[in-house]
Amino acid sequence: MNFAKRALLGATALTVVGFAAHAQTLTIATVNNGDMIRMQQMTAPFTEANPDITLDWVSLEENILRERVTTDIATQGGQYDVLTIGTYEVPIWAKQNWLLPLTDMPAEYDAADLLPAVSAALSVDGSLYAAPFYGESAMVMYRTDLAEAAGVTIPESPTWTDIKAAAEAMTDKSKEQYGICLRGKPGWGENMAFLTAMANSYGARWFDMDWKPQFDSAEWNEALTDYLALMTNFGPPGASSNGFNENLSLFQQGKCGMWIDATVAASFVTDPANSTVADKVGFAQFPNKEGVDNHGNWLWAWSLAIPSSSDAPDAAKKFVAWATSKEYTAQVAEAQGWRAAPPGTRTSLYENTDYQAEAPFAAMTLTAINGANTQKSSVQDIPYTGGQFVAIPEFQGIGTAVGQQFSAALAGQMSAADALAGAQANTTREMTRAGYIK
């Protein structure tokens, strides 16, 4: 038990004798995005039903969250009782015995209702190790009014050629109207999540079957060159600092003709309370390059997991079961409408006619999630799994280092060729050091 929790429980014991022995504080590390902020605001039913459990939130920007929870769990620091982690960390950490299996969730949790692709990504040897709060793939979100005014059509399954033509037609920088917004902030889960999916759609791969990096390939060169051209010519200024949250804000303000990113963003860009373009948004599949049958294979689930170092595992399991339950989904729907319900985790949500009626993005989201193949993310042979990431422990460091190279290229600090050469050299060195390359 850490000092802060011991002090809190000690103070409670002085005032509430008998209750203090059971009082527990759950320290919950989470990402500062819209869905997680909403969850923090809606915990009253849980705390009222569990007066002996206090929730202490640590809400962090995505890259900082990953750094802190990774450090804590690897050292068994015990700082957190509930972690917000993704499909990348779960199988790696579960195999290290760093996470507690969620094998005895209450019957009403209904684990069988979880979407198979998401449940499988969060399981090891048939046991669930994290409960999905929301799941996502990636897709195109675009301004239907700007597309119509520009005389362009974005098909349901566009190619990158379609995207480039639409971005050019919808750009009017004199009005701060940019044809396309894409992630540029460096990070393995920021710009490299997008760029890995884009590279997949061009037929690229991170490694060949001997674990040799492939940044010197024609496919990576074409993907990065096209990305930089799109953003330089038709993107907003300062794009090398823009991640998910920054692009969401730009789109909601009406400054992006298109935004290609996580499907979970759809509920926010169509929210009339926060988006100035809520009634003018269309959806399409993640693009592919002509002749390549690959739509990125992005699959992610922000999930709640319990570290084996927690000193309150039973209380943590109660919270995780509640926060990822059908009950919580219904609570969100009642308070803010079905469009705001956490997407991408449960079959029952997509069978719900109320949700289908209120969420114009539901069908495309489900198509994207069901179409993601994380077992073979590239059309070429690969030795790894993972869609917009490579599921090896070293990827956090390697992916972020490559992301810094590519972000620098977007900022105009180096050429695409130099960024790719740096990525190739750095990744080769790290993979050799880690023993993958013999």
Q: Span 374-392, mean pLDDT? A: 95
User: Virtual CA dihedral for 310, 312, 317, 323, nearest 10 degrees?
Assistant: -90
| pLDDT at res. 46 | 96
Sheet holding 281-285, edge to edge: 258-262, 138-143, 281-285
Question: Which residue spans of the chain are classified as CATH 3.40.190.10?
Answer: 3-136+300-358, 138-298+363-433
Decide yes or no: CATH 3.30.1600.10 for domain 3-136+300-358: no
| pLDDT at res. 62 | 86
Mean pLDDT, the chain, as a whole number? 93
Q: Span 262-281, mean pLDDT? A: 95
Residue 9 has pLDDT above 70, yes or no: no
| pLDDT at res. 75 | 93
What confidence tens digit (pLDDT) does each residue in 412-428 have?
999 999 999 999 999 99
Q: Rg of the Cα trace of the chain?
A: 22
| pLDDT at res. 138 | 98
What confidence tens digit (pLDDT) does each residue in 59-80 have?
999 889 999 999 999 999 999 9
Evaluate whether 219 touches 310 at the Cβ level (below 8 Å): no
Q: CA torsion sign, 332 to 338 to 342 to 348?
A: positive
Evaluate whether 99 touches 93 at the Cβ level (below 8 Å): yes
Q: Span 355-369, mean pLDDT? A: 95
H and E: helices and strands count for the chain: 19, 10
Task: State the pLDDT confidence band at 227, using cuts at 50, 70 and 90.
Answer: very high
* Domain formed by 138-298+363-433, architecture: 3-Layer(aba) Sandwich (3.40)
